[in-house]
Amino acid sequence: MRKLKLKPFVIPSISVILLIAAIFASIMSLQTSNDFSNLPQQIDYVTQTILDNEIAVINTSTKVINPYVDESVTIGKYFYDYKADAKSQEKSIIYHDGTYMQNSGIDFISPNAFDVIAVLNGTVTGVSDNETLGKIVEIKHDNGYISIYQSLSEVSVKKDDTISQGQVIGKSGTNELDKEIGNHLHFEFYANGQIVDPTLFLNKELS
């Protein structure tokens, strides 16, 4: 039998054809893998934070409010300031039983009894009824602050109560010490054990 013999140029030609076929197959495979037409049309994206509980890392402050909300309330007597002028000091003097005394707080007055509210969050540390000063409520606040409310006709809190800022603690009234100014609230404010002029803190921010 006669054997067939391939010519020398045939083998390289077959090799080239196989190589081209392999390259073509690879290209077709890549095109298929990059086809995005089959992806879902509706995609849910993450729109919420991962951490549910966020903690503030900046300092916060609290504003001290007035001990009343009634717009008819005005100031009848101011805190006695040793550095103030003589005219201002005259408006801060209390005369009682033949004696002149410096006013240790502010007297808020109004023709009618008005609700008295807490100027800050705190805890009631004392409730008493004094023959000369009237009913008294003392509230201790954070950072060494204490507020005292005197000349109350009614008290709606008791000792050890936890009080929220703006909560009604009683009603204004009269007392023997300042009976000439009629219905009023005598308000005092302490900072770190020292009595201070309330106007330096009322409607001011505390860090």
Q: What is the mean pLDDT of residues 15-21?
A: 63
Cβ atoms 202, 65 nearer than 8 A? yes
CATH number at residue 157: 2.70.70.10
Domain presence at residue 18: no
DSSP state of 173: B
- Take residue 81 and report the two structure tokens written for it: 């300031």
Cβ atoms 139, 163 nearer than 8 A? yes
Domain presence at residue 49: no
Q: What distance in Å separates the CA atoms of residue 78 and residue 93, rounded to the nearest whole number?
A: 8
At 51, is the pLDDT very low, low, confident or very high (cuts 50, 70, 90)? very low
Spell out the long-range contacts of 8-15 with Cβ–Cβ below 8 A and sequence spacing 24 or more.
none
| Between 1 and 134, the higher pLDDT residue | 134
Domain presence at residue 48: no
The kind and range of the H/E element at 29 are helix 10-33
DSSP 130-159: ETTTEEEEEEE-GGGEEEEEEEEEEE---T
Q: What is the mean pLDDT of residues 126-154?
A: 96
Cβ atoms 112, 183 nearer than 8 A? yes
Residues spanned by the domain of 175: 62-206
Domain presence at residue 179: yes
Tally of domains within the chain: 1
pLDDT digits (tens, 9 = 90+) for 160-204: 999 999 999 999 999 998 888 999 999 999 999 999 999 999 999
